[in-house]
Amino acid sequence: MGDIFTTISTFLIGLLTGLGVDPLLAHIIVAFLGAFLIANFVLLILIVNIWLERKVIGRMQDRIGPNRVGPWGIFQTIADLTKLVSKEIIIPSGADLVPFMAAPIVAVASVILVWAVMPLAKTAIGTDLNIGVLYMVAVSSLGIMSILLAGWSSNNKYALLGAFRAVAMLVSYEVPMILTLMVPVLLSGSMQMGKIVSDQQIWYGFSMPVAALIFYIALTAEIGRSPFDLLEAESEIVAGYHIEYSGFAFAIFYAAEWAHAFTVSALMAALFFGGWQGPFAETIPTLGIVYFMGKTFLIYFMSMWLRATLPRVRIDHTMSFCWKFLIPMSLILITLVVLVDKLAALAIGESYLDTTTMLAMTPRSLALLAVNLVTGAFAVWWIGVMGRRERERLAALEIKHVVIETSAAGQQAK
């Protein structure tokens, strides 16, 4: 039971080879079963996550939340899914059928494919690619393609406008996301997700808190969660890029959105908070998945908290925040991290780059934490300066309006 993943895999391979199956084919079958289980786990956990988020946000907003279907409303998500599955999929007369139906499938596939390189435990990872981070960025970008396909193929001007706006925002926020994603890659010296997790004897979220915060903000915008839920701003563009979708086609988009929220929480846990790392996780890998899922749900709870409390940000403010603040801060931070890290390595020696123990990582973590504190202080000062400039601009504009109104009143009096 200490390593249930290896035990099950070895048992199944031995069982298949004992039945006369070729060893290579047996490994392929076991790999397929593992992929099948991971994909279904991502989709089935949504039933719990949707109910949990509704209940948590209900409590935060002094409401009850779902409480009718089943005890404590636990079957409300199943009732909603049944309703959506039973409805007709209506395709607009002028829609392009193939991309119209492919868009929701691409959306949910882009989320599930990320889990192929997610290190659930020390011995439980789909495929530990040596370019795992690059693969993750590539497949998650397919979600942008699905949004563009949905808006373009619907033959609806509102869907098209919603898709263009969504793609503009998502492409913009990918820049700070990828820049800060380079931080764990640089510190670990690898794009292999398993190595990035195993090297975090001290979590990167503790030594690089500003990078982790920027990465989390960019991910929140990427998935269209509050306060960046502009992908389907109903009050402005009816319902965004999926206005023409109904029935099960809409349900797939719905599932992709919720699965994406859970997936980015898992990415944060893996890249910045040690993933499966925890007491005895090295010797008892089964504990690793407990630590990993606990960290994931804790980060997911933070996204619920943000959704329950923050209002939607205006689209121009959202874009300005990305290009005028997050991207410059990401560039400054990654430049300082590389510079300080290399200078410290030259001054201290090879022992500075040791990641085998927590004690060995302490000097490097303290140096990087100092860089983050300086960068964070600069960011706070910068926000203050920008806020004062905006207040002065609004005050000058108000004075100008008062002068114009006074002048107009004087002309009327004459």
Gap between the Cα atoms of 219 and 213, Å rounded = 10
Give the per-residue SS3 of 190-250: CCCHHHHHHCCCCCHHHHCHHHHHHHHHHHHHHCCCCCCCCCCCHHHHCCHHHCCCCHHHH
What pLDDT does 234 receive? Answer: 56
Q: In b/e form, how buried is each residue of 126-137, taking b as 16+ CB within 10 angstroms?
A: beebeebbebbb
Percent of the chain with pLDDT strictly greater than 90: 20
What pLDDT does 176 receive? Answer: 92
- Asked if residues 361 and 202 have their Cβ atoms less than 8 Å apart, the reply is yes
Least confident of 27-36, 200-209, 356-365: 356-365
Query: What does the angle CA 135 – CA 141 – CA 142 come to, to the nearest 5 degrees?
Result: 100
**Does residue 209 surpass a pLDDT of 60?**
yes
Tens digit of each residue's pLDDT (9 = 90 or more) over 95-104: 888 999 999 9
Confidence label for 237 from pLDDT (cuts 50, 70 and 90): low
Nearest to 243 by CA among 381, 92, 20: 92
Confidence label for 233 from pLDDT (cuts 50, 70 and 90): low
Peptide bond preceding 363 in cis form (omega within 30 of 0) = no
**Does residue 174 surpass a pLDDT of 80?**
yes
Least confident of 44-58, 144-158, 397-411: 397-411
Q: What is the mean pLDDT of residues 72-79?
A: 89
Cβ atoms within 10 Å of 160's Cβ, excluding its own: 19
**Does residue 85 surpass a pLDDT of 70?**
yes
What pLDDT does 225 receive? Answer: 83
Q: What is the mean pLDDT of residues 185-194?
A: 88
Tens digit of each residue's pLDDT (9 = 90 or more) over 287-304: 888 899 999 999 999 999
Gap between the Cα atoms of 119 and 135, Å rounded = 14
What pLDDT does 273 receive? Answer: 92
What pLDDT does 1 receive? Answer: 53
Q: Would you report the helix, strand and coil content of the chain in percent, each value rounded to 5?
A: 75, 0, 20
More confident residue, 383 or 233: 383
**Does residue 345 surpass a pLDDT of 70?**
yes
Tens digit of each residue's pLDDT (9 = 90 or more) over 306-322: 988 888 888 888 888 99
Strand ranges in 223-333 using DSSP code E only, listed in sequence order: none
Confidence label for 217 from pLDDT (cuts 50, 70 and 90): very high
What pLDDT does 414 receive? Answer: 63
